[in-house]
Chains A and B, each alone.
Chain A
Amino acid sequence: MAETAPPMPLDKRRGKSKAPSPPPVAQHRLSLWQRIKRDKVMLLLTLPGLLYFVVFHYIPLLGYMVAFQDYQPYLGYMHSAWTGFANFSSAFGDPAFWSATVNTVEIAFVQLIFFFPVPIALALLLNSIVSDKLRRFIQSVVYLPHFIGWVIIVSIFQQVLGGAGLLPDLLGDLGLPRYDMMSDPNAFPWLIALQSIWKDAGWGTIIILAALLGIDKQQYEAAAIDGANRWRRLWHVTLPGIAPVIILLLILNLGQILSVGFEQILLQRDAVGPGSGEVLDTYVYYHGIKDNQWGISAAVGLVKAVVGTVLVLGANKFAHRLGHEGVYRGADS
C-alpha cells in the first residue's frame, strides 16, 4: 500500500537544509520545555483522550495482579494475600475451563471458515454489478444490520428460528419435525456463525470493495488481450490485488480468535447450556463477577489476553516474512 519514495538526489536535499526557512533548524535549538510550550494548545487538546487511554486501557493491566492473589474486595489489592500461580493451577484443573476453551476454539474455527470468506465473495459480487444505483441500494441494505445491537439480532433470530418461530412453524406445517436451532447445543457454533454473517458480512465488504477499486483497470485490459477469460482474470488480477487486505483481515481475526463475540454468546448461553455455550469470556464473567472467584477468572482472562496478543504479533510477523504489510507497519503514515 505505502510505496517507498525514491531517494532524493543529494544536492536537492542539501539545498533544502540550507534554505533560509527556519522550522527544521529552529526545532533542534528549542529545549523540550520550550517545544512543549510552543505546542501547548495541541497537547492540551490531546490530554482528555490520552488520560482516557491510560486510565481505561493501561491501568487495568495492573489490575491483573488479582490473578496472582486471593483477592478479597473488602481487602483490596494491597491487603489481599499473594498466592503465586495457585489461581492458574486451579483454573487449569477445572474441567469447565477446558470445556470453555474447546468451545471457544470450535466456535472461532467455524466462524473463520464460514464467516470469513462471505464478505469477500459478496464484495466481488457487488463489484461486478454495473448499475451504480442498484449497487448502492444493495449496499445500503446489507450494511444496515451492522448497526443493530446483538440483543435485537438475537431477538429477531428467536422469531425466525426459535421455538415458536417462522422455521419450526413452517416445518410443522409441512409435517416435518419442528426443529429449534436456537436451543440445539450441537448447532451452536453454526448459529453463531450464521448470526455473524447476517450482522456483519455486508459491513465487511467495505474494505474489500475499496481494495477492488484500487486495482489498476489496465491490468484487466492487458489480461483480456492476453486471452484470459473471466475466471482467469479473477484469479490472476483480482485476487492478487486484494490479497494484502485479505491477509490483514485474517491477522486481525486471528488476534480476536479467543474473543468470540461475548455479548452474542452470553445472550444465548442459557438456551443451549454451558456445555456448548460457555466460552472463555463467559467463563470469566460467570466465575468472576457472578461467583466472586476474582483470582481464578482474572487468571483465565490473563491467559486469554496473552495468547491473543501473541497470536496477533506472531501473525503480523509472519505476514512481514511473506512480504506483506501486516497490521501496524505504516500505521503512522
Chain B
Amino acid sequence: MERPTRLGLTGKGIVLVLVVVAVAYPLLGVIGTSFASQTDIIKSTGLVLWPDHPTLDAYRTIFTGGVVSRALLVSVGITVFGTAASLLATIGMAYGLSRRSVTGSRFILMTALFTMLFNAGIIPNFLLVNQLGLYNTYAALVIPTLMSAFNLVVLRAFFMNLPEELYDAARVDGAGDFRILLQVVLPLSKAVIAVVGLFYAVAYWNAFFNSLLYLQDSDKWPLPMVLRTFVLQGQSLSGAAAGESVAPQEAVQMGVLVVAVVPILLVYPFVQRYFTKGVLTGAIKG
C-alpha cells in the first residue's frame, strides 16, 4: 500500500491532539483549581491549570466539613458491598447458565436477556421499592440495580469459551460443579471479573438516580448527591465547616470533584487493558 501523505498525517495528528486535550484539559483544570489559592483563581479565567500558590485549604475544608466525609463513607460502603453482591450474583448466574445441557438454562437466560429490551419505568420501580420496605435505606442503592444483563452475558460468554477439556479433566478428578467453579473457572477468569467488577463499582460509585429517588434523609446521601447540592446548586460548604474556612469556594467545589474522581483514576489503569477483551467477548460473540 502507498505511504500516507504528509497532509493526511498532519491532519490526523491535529485532530487526535485536539481530542486528547479536550478530554484531559478539563480534568487537569479541576485538579489544579482544587489546589489553587484565592489569588490564583482571581488571576485566571475559569480553571487553574497550574496554581502559583498551591494550598491544601480546600481539602482541609472538605474533610473537616463532615458532610463530604460522611458522603464519602456512604459511597465507599455501597460501592464495596454492592460490587461484591453484584459480582457474586452475576458469577453464579453466568456459571449456572454456561452449560447448555443444564435443564431450563435456556429459559432462565432468556428471562434475563429480555430485560435488555424493556425498562419497567420510574413509577412502578419506585412503588415496588416502597412496598418492599427499602425506601430510605442503603439497600435501595444496591438491590434495585444489583445485576445487569449485559455483564451477565459477558461473563457467561467467557465461561463458555474456556476449553471443554478443563471441565472434563476436573470432572474426572471428581470435582463437582461448585468445585469446578471455585478451583478451575474463577482462577482463569480474573481479568474478565476485574472488568465486570469495575463496571459495577463505577455504577455504584456514581449512583445518583437511586439515591435521588429512594433516599429521603440528606445525611444518608452518597457523594454524587452531595456534589449536586454543593457544586451544581452552589450551596456553601463553609456553614458546615464552622465558618473558619479560608479556601475559596471554587477550590472547595473542585476539591469535592477531585475526591469523587480520584478513586476511578486510581483503579482505571489496572483494569483498562482488559476492556477490549472483556467487552468484546460479550458484545461480539454474545
A268 nearest CB neighbor, chain B only: B232
Q: Does B97 contact A (CB under 8 A)?
A: yes
Complex CA gap A242/B275 in Å reads: 20
A49 near B92 with CB under 8 A, answer yes
A281 nearest CB neighbor, chain B only: B122
Q: Which of A46, A54, A125, A289 counts the most B-chain CB atoms under 10 A from its CB? A: A46
B208 near A57 with CB under 8 A, answer no
Q: Main secondary structure on chain B at its contact with chain A? A: helix
Contacts of A173 in B (CB 8 A): 45
Contacts of A36 in B (CB 8 A): 103-104
Number of interface residues of B (CB under 8 A): 98
A25-64: CB near B (< 8 Å → 1, else 0) gives 0010000100110110111111111101111111111111
Among listed B16-24, B54-62, B186-194, B239-247, interface-contacting one: B16-24
A125 near B30 with CB under 8 A, answer no
Q: Does B172 contact A (CB under 8 A)?
A: no
Contacts of A224 in B (CB 8 A): 1
B121 near A301 with CB under 8 A, answer yes
B102 near A43 with CB under 8 A, answer yes
Interface residues on A, range: 35 or more
Contacts of B106 in A (CB 8 A): 332
Given the interface pairs A46-B105, A141-B24, A143-B275, the reply to whether A56 lies near B123 with Cβ below 8 Å is no
B259-283: CB near A (< 8 Å → 1, else 0) gives 0110011001100100110011001
Q: Does A122 contact B (CB under 8 A)?
A: yes
A209 near B26 with CB under 8 A, answer no
A59 near B92 with CB under 8 A, answer no
Selected from B89, B101, B178, the residue in CB contact (under 8 A) with A27 is B101
Shortest B226–chain A CB gap in Å is 9
Q: Does B99 contact A (CB under 8 A)?
A: yes
Given the interface pairs A49-B89, A160-B46, the reply to whether A289 lies near B22 with Cβ below 8 Å is no
Complex CA gap A149/B211 in Å reads: 13
A148 near B261 with CB under 8 A, answer yes
B209 near A64 with CB under 8 A, answer no
Contacts of A6 in B (CB 8 A): none
B280 near A49 with CB under 8 A, answer no
Contacts of B122 in A (CB 8 A): 281, 284-285, 288-289, 297, 301
Selected from B46, B102, B115, B125, the residue in CB contact (under 8 A) with A165 is B46
Contacts of A64 in B (CB 8 A): 120-121, 124
B111 nearest CB neighbor, chain A only: A53
Q: Does B63 contact A (CB under 8 A)?
A: no
A48 near B206 with CB under 8 A, answer no
Contacts of A281 in B (CB 8 A): 122
Shortest A136–chain B CB gap in Å is 8
Q: Does B146 contact A (CB under 8 A)?
A: yes
Q: Does A255 contact B (CB under 8 A)?
A: yes
Q: Does A109 contact B (CB under 8 A)?
A: no
Complex CA gap A110/B69 in Å reads: 39
Given the interface pairs A138-B16, A165-B46, the reply to whether A152 lies near B275 with Cβ below 8 Å is no
Given the interface pairs A142-B23, A255-B117, the reply to whether A298 lies near B124 with Cβ below 8 Å is yes
A41 near B178 with CB under 8 A, answer yes
B98 nearest CB neighbor, chain A only: A42
* Cβ < 8 Å to A, chain B residues 33-89: 33, 45-47, 88-89
* Cβ < 8 Å to B, chain A residues 160-196: 160, 164-167, 169-170, 173
Q: Does A259 contact B (CB under 8 A)?
A: yes
Among listed A12-20, A96-104, A305-313, interface-contacting one: A305-313
B117 near A312 with CB under 8 A, answer yes
A41 nearest CB neighbor, chain B only: B177
Selected from A198, A298, A328, A331, the residue in CB contact (under 8 A) with B22 is A198
Selected from A140, A209, A298, A328, the residue in CB contact (under 8 A) with B123 is A298
Closest 6 CB pairs of A and B: A149-B206, A63-B124, A166-B46, A49-B93, A60-B120, A46-B96
Known: A150-B208, A259-B119. 14 other contacts (CB 8 A): A1-B284, A41-B177, A60-B125, A63-B124, A141-B23, A151-B260, A155-B253, A159-B29, A159-B30, A160-B47, A207-B284, A267-B228, A305-B121, A331-B153
Residue positions of A touching B, CB distance < 8 A: 1, 23, 27, 32, 35-36, 38-39, 41-50, 52-64, 66, 73, 122, 125, 128-129, 138, 140-145, 147-152, 154-156, 158-160, 164-167, 169-170, 173, 198, 202, 206-207, 209-211, 214, 220-221, 224, 229-230, 255, 259, 262-263, 266-267, 281, 284-285, 288-289, 294, 297-298, 301-302, 304-305, 308-309, 312-313, 328, 330-333
Jot down 17 A-B pairs with beta carbons below 8 A, ordered by A.
Answer: A48-B92, A49-B112, A52-B143, A53-B115, A55-B128, A56-B128, A56-B144, A56-B145, A60-B120, A145-B23, A147-B268, A152-B261, A155-B253, A206-B279, A267-B228, A281-B122, A312-B117
